[in-house]
Amino acid sequence: MTSAAPTAISSQAAANRLLLRRQRAERRFQLYGILAISAAVGFLIVFLANIVSRGYMGFVQTEVQLTVNFDEELIEAGSYRKILRTSLAERFPDAGSSRAERRALTGMVSAGTVFVLRETIAADPAIVGTVQDVWVLASDPVDQFYKGRIDAALPEGERPISDASLARIAALEEAGRIALRFNRSFFSRGDSRNPEEAGILGAIVGSALALLVTLAVSFPVGVMTAVYLEAFAPRNRITRLIEININNLAAVPSIVFGLLGLAVFLNVFGLPRSAPVSGGLVLSLMTLPTIIISSRAAIRAVPPSFAEAAIGLGASRVQAIFHHVLPVAAPGTLTGAIIGMAQALGETAPLLMMGMVAFVAEVPGGFTDPSTVLPAQVYLWADSPERGFAEKTAAAIIVLLGFLLVMNGLAVYLRRKFEKQW
Amino acid sequence: MVTASVPSNPQSKLVAREVSVFYGEKQAVFDVDLDILPREVTAFIGPSGCGKSTLLRCFNRMNDLIENCQTMGSMLLDGNDIAGPDVDVVQLRSRIGMVFQKPNPFPKSVYDNVAYGPRLHGLAPSRSDLDELVETSLRRAGIWDEVKDRVDEPGTSLSGGQQQRLCIARAIAVRPDVLLMDEPCSALDPIATATIEELIDELRSEYTIIIVTHNMQQAARVSQRTAFLNLGRLIEFDETPKIFTNPSEQSTQDYITGRFG
């Protein structure tokens, strides 16, 4: 007894030490976790704040109000440029009539103003012969200055806007004829060489058309593949080989799919270059493994008792799968499809090979029209030297992120809606 | 074909002759000869892994679903072959219903659970026929009074015992001749078990029932005939009172007195 007591005490102390050490380790581990999450959240906040602070200006545009005399003779002669020049000269009578002065004056407004005037007349022929106040887009230097991106304190030679222009902007401001307005044309136009005229609609439509093709091809093929592999395929060497290859496909660099698409879809099948149909097909190749893998996981997660019960009642295998397994697996399948679509939406590399990373000014009207996609538009604008494109780039990124957010929200919503308890 | 060595009773609902089942190389059931009489409850008892569930699943060909599972021998339902490769198993399974170990209602409404089979086989041409069939099936399964006000609620919201009776209602809604029950009470509490046992006794008047059970008291309570299987062989098959009071085989005696299993 006397010899056993100290051993009991020392082992008690050892147990306490062990306990303390374990508790310390657990607290330390929690701390690491919290640190990791805060770092991730911090990066995300910095990233979003940066994008939004650069991008929100992309959604507004400086506009100038001109008093335009829609002179019938000039319109009949087709001299819309003359109409614009006259109206500018009337607004700024101080400007000389030399060629350089005149060019500086027209340089105040967007180069596309002439076409805007023509479209305005085409839309409403009644204004011919009247004098109207019209808001037109300011040119990029004026826009950038008005948004505070150009420092007026710099010497004249180091900034893209002249002293005379600065004085005119001040005069316009005094008259209340210059303002930041919501940039509707950003959402209603295609790309342009002039940043103030560049819009994102072309890229949005291009992305939507390409994704429609992707969805139409990869969803049915992917789900059917998953159903067959999970429920019908015999377990043998060939199916195992196919399974391994599908899993490996998910890890293939996306540019390789682009090369494959170039070789097969463009060169063998002769599909149109730069078109959503060929881009969508390449993206569907890329999305297929994602959809197959997630659908298989969803089908495998359905308790086999459902299919068994149906078969016990005299349902055929196909009926059991379609009546009972697929509906229960639907949320997982849909989530996989939407995640795959979101991936495809953000993909640029394979489309590089398909010629979809290209300057396309027209908004595509169909699956075979030349078009670009959202991430490619971001890349193109980020590559442009004009200052105005910097904020367009950020604005396009916001639009892209917005679409991704909507798609992921849709995935969550569908999962909640179709999820069933058993 | 039925071998001459074991003559079959012409009244038999189901006949099994020299039935062997293999899982790949492994043999699970060895040369079983069995006659199941109509409107009786036949119990299969035996220790775990003795092949009683496997044998049960031969009758509605559920073993076909298991890859590399092979069944040999001959089986007849009302004198017609049901083991051959030409048999339409879907047709067969509408005549031989099955109730599983774990209650497995579909994640659909109580109504749709029961209506699934009749819809599948086109048993109820009109909506009112279907309503009637669903009601009679639920009544016959002794669950109508409990669910009549909530037939639109999911079947999975019922209690375990109710779910199992719902599964029985679902099985009898296709108007089978035979009901196979694979340990139908093993996932239920004693009260729910007693309800199901009473139900089995009532259903006996219309259906031929085969029940696999681990619970020997249950076999003694509900069945008229009992088959004792061990290590894949049919050891003894006789009237239930005889099996439980005066078995002819020593191993049957050992099993029912709890010496093994």
Can you give the CATH number for the domain in which B208 is found? Answer: 3.40.50.300
Judge whether B67 is closer than 8 Å to chain A, CB to CB.
yes
Structure ipTM:
0.87
Averaged confidence pLDDT in chain B: 90
A-B contacts at Cβ under 8 angstroms: 64
Q: DSSP letter at A384?
A: -
A370 conformational bin, left if phi > 0, alpha if psi -120 to 50, beta if neither: beta
In percent, the amount of chain A with pLDDT more than 90 equals: 42
**Nearest CB neighbour to A328, from listed B97, B102, B107:** B107
Work out the average pLDDT over A4-21.
79
Q: Which residues of B touch A314 (CB under 8 A)?
A: 90-94, 117, 120-121, 174
Q: Which residues of B touch A308 (CB under 8 A)?
A: 62, 65, 100, 104
What pLDDT does A421 receive?
Answer: 54
Contact A305 B156 (CB under 8 A): no
- The whole-angstrom distance between A232's CA and the closest CA on chain B is 10
Question: Residue B27 is part of which domain span?
Answer: 14-103+178-256
**Nearest CB neighbour to B90, from listed A234, A316, A421:** A316
- The whole-angstrom distance between B3's CA and the closest CA on chain A is 29
Q: Which residues of A touch B164 (CB under 8 A)?
A: none
pLDDT tens for B207-234 read 999 999 988 899 999 999 999 999 999 9
Q: Please determine, for residue B155, whether its predicted confidence score (pLDDT) is greater than 50.
A: yes
Q: Please determine, for residue A43, whether its predicted confidence score (pLDDT) is greater than 80.
A: yes
What pLDDT does A378 receive?
Answer: 93
Which of A232, A313, A326 to probe the B interface (max B CBs under 10 A)? A313
pLDDT tens for A48-59 read 998 888 888 888
**Strand pairing of B26-36 and B14-23?**
antiparallel
pLDDT tens for A230-270 read 988 888 899 999 999 999 988 899 899 999 999 999 999 99
Q: Which residues, 6 or more positions from B78, have their beta carbon under 8 angstroms from its beta carbon?
A: B13, B177
Q: Which residues of A touch B93 (CB under 8 A)?
A: 311-314
Judge whether B39 is closer than 8 Å to chain A, CB to CB.
no
- The whole-angstrom distance between B233's CA and the closest CA on chain A is 25
Domain layout of chain A by residue ranges: 4-56, 59-186, 201-418
Contact B67 A306 (CB under 8 A): no
Buried b (16+ CB within 10 A) or exposed e, B221-236: bbbebbbbbbebebbb
In total, chain B counts a number of residues equal to 261
Q: Which residues of A touch B170 (CB under 8 A)?
A: 309, 313
Contact B102 A308 (CB under 8 A): no
Q: Which residues of B touch A302 (CB under 8 A)?
A: none
Contact B117 A328 (CB under 8 A): no
Contact A309 B104 (CB under 8 A): yes
Q: Which residues of A touch B65 (CB under 8 A)?
A: 308, 311
**Strand pairing of B69-77 and B80-81?**
antiparallel
Closest CA to B44 of B247, B196, B237, B188: B237
Considering only the top CATH level, what class is A201-418?
Answer: mainly alpha
Contact B171 A314 (CB under 8 A): no
Judge whether A93 is closer than 8 Å to chain B, CB to CB.
no
Q: DSSP letter at B37?
A: P
B97 belongs to a structural domain: yes
- The whole-angstrom distance between A223's CA and the closest CA on chain B is 21
Contact B93 A309 (CB under 8 A): no
Closest CA to A292 of A239, A353, A348, A235: A239
Give the full edge-to-edge strand order of the sheet including B225-230.
Answer: B80-81, B69-77, B14-23, B26-36, B233-239, B225-230, B41-45, B208-212, B178-182, B96-99
What pLDDT does A150 receive?
Answer: 85
Tell me the residues of chain A between 186 and 225 that have a Cβ less than 8 Å away from chain B.
none
Both tokens assigned to A266: 């463009």
In percent, the amount of chain A with pLDDT more than 70 equals: 97
Contact B117 A314 (CB under 8 A): yes
Helix, strand or coil for residue B74? strand
**Nearest CB neighbour to B120, from listed A234, A315, A422:** A315
Tell me the residues of chain B between 149 and 208 that have a Cβ less than 8 Å away from chain A.
154, 156, 167, 170-171, 174
**Nearest CB neighbour to A314, from listed B93, B100, B156:** B93
Contact assessment for residue B15 and residue B2, using Cβ atoms and an 8 Å cutoff: yes
Ranking A86-90, A252-256, A308-312 by mean pLDDT, the lowest is A86-90
Contact B120 A319 (CB under 8 A): yes
Q: Which residues of A touch B120 (CB under 8 A)?
A: 313-315, 319
Kindly list the distances between the CA atom of residue B92 and the CA atoms of A31, A323, B63, B170, in Å, as whole numbers in the listed order: 63, 20, 13, 16
| B4: number of Cβ within 10 Å | 6
What pLDDT does B229 receive?
Answer: 93
Q: How many domains does chain B have?
A: 1
Higher pLDDT, A94 or B38: B38
Work out the average pLDDT over B65-71.
87
- The whole-angstrom distance between B84's CA and the closest CA on chain A is 17
**Nearest CB neighbour to A235, from listed B62, B67, B171:** B67
Return the amino acid letter for A7.
T
B84 belongs to a structural domain: yes
Q: Please determine, for residue B261, whether its predicted confidence score (pLDDT) is greater than 80.
A: no
pLDDT tens for B89-107 read 888 999 999 999 999 999 9
B94 belongs to a structural domain: yes
What pLDDT does B99 receive?
Answer: 94
- The whole-angstrom distance between B57's CA and the closest CA on chain A is 10
Judge whether B65 is closer than 8 Å to chain A, CB to CB.
yes
Tell me the residues of chain A between 327 and 346 that have a Cβ less than 8 Å away from chain B.
328
Helix, strand or coil for residue A337? helix
B82 belongs to a structural domain: yes
Judge whether B107 is closer than 8 Å to chain A, CB to CB.
yes
Q: Which residues, 6 or more positions from B249, have their beta carbon under 8 angstroms from its beta carbon?
A: B228, B235, B236
pLDDT tens for A117-157 read 888 888 888 888 888 888 888 988 898 888 888 888 888 88
Which of B56, B59, B65, B69 to probe the A interface (max A CBs under 10 A)? B65
DSSP-derived secondary structure for A340-364: HHHHHHT--HHHHHTT-SS---SPP
